[in-house]
């Protein structure tokens, strides 16, 4: 069984005589005492150790180490890289052995065990594949993280047995042949090792993996071809969460409620970039730096962003404090808005004005000043969202989904046209939006059925001709803080 207290060991220098102990230093060894293999019991058959991100397997409900089996299968094929724009590329990776529903492998399954457990991993490379593959588990202590003994050509299988010595969220990846290429093709996943004392309860646990895709501009058929030179140049065309653009955004958004706590196990699969993981519209209530969840380590409370090196991880927690959409990004923001590293967490529940509310600005322009200097240039550039602009063209701006841009997500926010005029909305954002008639209070919308664009994809437009006078409020269905008005005279 695992020791309840650390094992104390002495690290002695070569010239230590053992006399007065001057040459010895005492340190706490956090590696658990091991139950001998001969005495180790198998895990209950009902335990789940594999899941596909963003889902994670549930933690084991036991206090002693066990032995469990994991069987992974290599995948070589085509996969969706940017589904909303019909972009595909060749992807390699891993899946649960025998899973007929999984045809692409990026990212590979999330594996979960407990510190002190022994995992038996079998890797099968189907004979229909073209390349040899293996797995280097960052959680495994052994030659190349098991990669040397898991190298399998097409048509073969191999297996290892390994003790899980440290808790955390670890990367695993293929380390065969051209290692950077194999990782860049999607051959990676996450291994969660729980500490002996479980982490505090969280209502939600999710797995998020950031990765880079080194492909050329997609062709007319939507195919984006792997570019090895871009790997060397460290210049990815796409940076994604969980293997593709939009994997955890929009319709695939993560969901929680006000009052709940969510824990994210995050691994930066690389290949090259350091991630700057940030929740727009929230903070990390708890950060376990480097995903090192051993209780001896100190957590960080109330962080805005956390840095995650390539091949490293973090564990972060977020509280649902107010109804909103929290936007997960790599805050090197070109990677988010231009290359795809965006996710959404939809928080549902009652508003709490003690935490956040929209208010009216002071009529006299007062309110404390704050030291801002207003120049004629900045004053002229300011837009009064309540003042109608005579135009029949509205732009859905880039970043319109961000609640911070709510007052200009539709620009101009209020327009004035004549009866019979056709108004056109152009979506310059990177995700789809709607133009749906009806009022919205910023968190809850009430469509009235007068007009509805449906999904306006990035780069597309929607037009509507107004045939009667009146004032027509409208909103975006998935982003109810996006509000506009058309005044028809």
Give kind and range of the element (H or E) at residue 222: none
Model pLDDT, residue 439: 95
Mean pLDDT of the chain, nearest integer: 91
Q: Residue 372: pLDDT above 80?
A: no
Least confident of 26-40, 176-190, 244-258: 26-40
Model pLDDT, residue 386: 66
Model pLDDT, residue 150: 98
The whole model's pTM is what? 0.72
Residue 481 corresponds to which tokens in the numbers above? Answer: 């803080």
Model pLDDT, residue 13: 38
Tell me the β-bridge partners of 96: 72
Q: Residue 363: pLDDT above 90?
A: no
Confirm or deny that 256 is annotated as ligand binding: no
Please tell me whether residue 173 adopts helix, strand or coil conformation.
strand
The residue behind tokens 């962003």 is 305
Least confident of 148-162, 225-239, 376-390: 376-390
38-357 with 383-488: one CATH topology?
yes
| Helices (runs of H) and strands (runs of E) counted in the chain | 3, 31
Model pLDDT, residue 444: 82
Confirm or deny that 187 is annotated as ligand binding: yes
Give kind and range of the element (H or E) at residue 479: none
Asked if 351 and 443 touch (Cβ cutoff 8 Å), the reply is yes
Q: What are the boundaries of each domain within the chain?
A: 7-37, 38-357, 383-488
* pLDDT tens digits, 170-189: 999 999 999 999 999 999 99
| CATH placement of domain 383-488 | 2.60.40.420
Asked if 138 and 113 touch (Cβ cutoff 8 Å), the reply is no
Model pLDDT, residue 175: 98
Confirm or deny that 138 is annotated as ligand binding: yes
Task: Report the 3 state secondary structure along 37-55.
Answer: HHHCCECCCCCCCEECCCC
* pLDDT tens digits, 263-306: 999 999 999 999 999 999 999 999 999 999 999 999 999 999 99
Confirm or deny that 174 is annotated as ligand binding: yes
* pLDDT tens digits, 178-218: 999 999 999 999 999 999 999 999 999 999 999 999 999 99
Confirm or deny that 479 is annotated as ligand binding: no
For residues 149, 151, 157, 161, the Cα torsion angle rounded to the nearest 10 degrees is 30
| Mean pLDDT score, 252-270 | 98
| Mean pLDDT score, 373-392 | 63
Confirm or deny that 173 is annotated as ligand binding: yes
Q: Residue 6: pLDDT above 90?
A: no
CA end-to-end span of the chain, whole Å?
79
Asked if 70 and 140 touch (Cβ cutoff 8 Å), the reply is no
Q: Residue 55: pLDDT above 90?
A: yes
Q: Residue 366: pLDDT above 80?
A: no
Percent of the chain with pLDDT over 90: 83
Q: Pick 373 or 420 by higher pLDDT.
A: 420
Cα 166 to Cα 265: distance, rounded to the nearest angstrom? 15
CATH architecture of 38-357: Sandwich (2.60)
Residue 14, phi-psi category: left (phi > 0), alpha (psi -120 to 50), beta (remainder)? alpha
Residue 251 corresponds to which tokens in the numbers above? Answer: 């319709």
For residues 135, 208, 254, 351, the Cα torsion angle rounded to the nearest 10 degrees is 160
Confirm or deny that 331 is annotated as ligand binding: yes
Report residue 9's pLDDT band, with 50, 70 and 90 as the boundaries.
Answer: very low
Kindly state the greatest CA–CA separation across the chain: 99
């Amino acid at each position: 069984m695992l020791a309840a207290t650390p094992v104390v060991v002495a690290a002695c220098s070569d010239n230590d005589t053992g006399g007065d102990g001057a040459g010895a230093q005492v340190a706490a060894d956090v590696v658990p005492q091991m139950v001998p293999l001969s005495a180790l019991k198998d895990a209950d058959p009902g335990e789940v150790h594999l899941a596909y991100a963003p889902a994670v397997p549930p933690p084991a409900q036991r206090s002693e180490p066990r032995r469990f089996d994991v069987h992974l299968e290599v995948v070589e094929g085509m996969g969706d890289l940017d589904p909303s724009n019909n972009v595909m590329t060749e992807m390699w990776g891993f899946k649960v052995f025998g899973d007929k529903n999984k045809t692409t492998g990026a990212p590979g399954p999330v594996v979960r065990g407990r510190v002190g457990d022994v995992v038996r991993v079998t890797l099968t490379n189907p004979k229909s594949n073209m390349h040899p593959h293996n797995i280097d588990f960052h959680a495994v202590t052994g030659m190349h993280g098991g990669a040397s003994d898991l190298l399998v050509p097409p048509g073969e299988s191999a297996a290892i047995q390994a003790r899980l010595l440290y808790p955390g969220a670890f990367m695993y990846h293929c380390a065969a042949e051209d290692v950077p290429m194999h990782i860049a093709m999607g051959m990676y996943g996450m291994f969660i090792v729980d500490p002996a004392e479980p982490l505090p309860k969280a209502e939600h646990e999710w797995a998020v993996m950031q990765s880079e895709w080194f492909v050329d501009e997609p062709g007319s058929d939507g195919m984006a071809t792997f570019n090895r030179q871009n790997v060397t140049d460290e210049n990815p065309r796409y940076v994604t969460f969980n293997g593709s653009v939009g994997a955890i955004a929009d319709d695939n958004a993560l969901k929680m409620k006000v009052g709940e706590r969510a824990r994210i196990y995050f691994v930066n699969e690389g290949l090259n970039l350091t991630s700057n993981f940030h929740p727009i519209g929230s903070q990390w209530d708890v950060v376990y730096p480097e995903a090192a969840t051993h209780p001896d380590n100190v957590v960080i409370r109330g962080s805005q962003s956390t840095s995650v090196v390539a091949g490293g991880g973090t564990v972060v927690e977020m509280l649902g404090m107010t109804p909103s959409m929290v936007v997960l990004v790599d805050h090197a923001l070109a990677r988010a808005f231009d290359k795809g590293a965006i996710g959404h967490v939809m928080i549902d529940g009652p508003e709490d004005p003690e935490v956040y509310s929209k208010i009216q600005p002071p009529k006299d322009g007062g309110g404390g000043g704050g030291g801002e200097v207003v120049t004629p240039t900045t004053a002229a550039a300011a837009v009064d969202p309540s003042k109608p602009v005579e135009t029949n063209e509205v732009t859905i701006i880039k970043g319109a989904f961000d609640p911070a841009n709510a007052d200009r997500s539709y620009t101009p926010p209020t327009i004035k046209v004549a009866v019979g005029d056709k108004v056109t909305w152009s979506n310059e954002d990177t995700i789809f939006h709607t133009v749906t008639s009806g009022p919205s209070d910023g968190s809850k919308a009430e469509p009235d059925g007068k007009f509805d664009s449906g999904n306006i994809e990035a780069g597309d437009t929607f037009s509507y001709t107004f045939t009667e006078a009146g004032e027509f409020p409208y909103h975006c269905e998935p982003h109810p803080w996006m509000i506009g008005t058309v005044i028809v005279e």
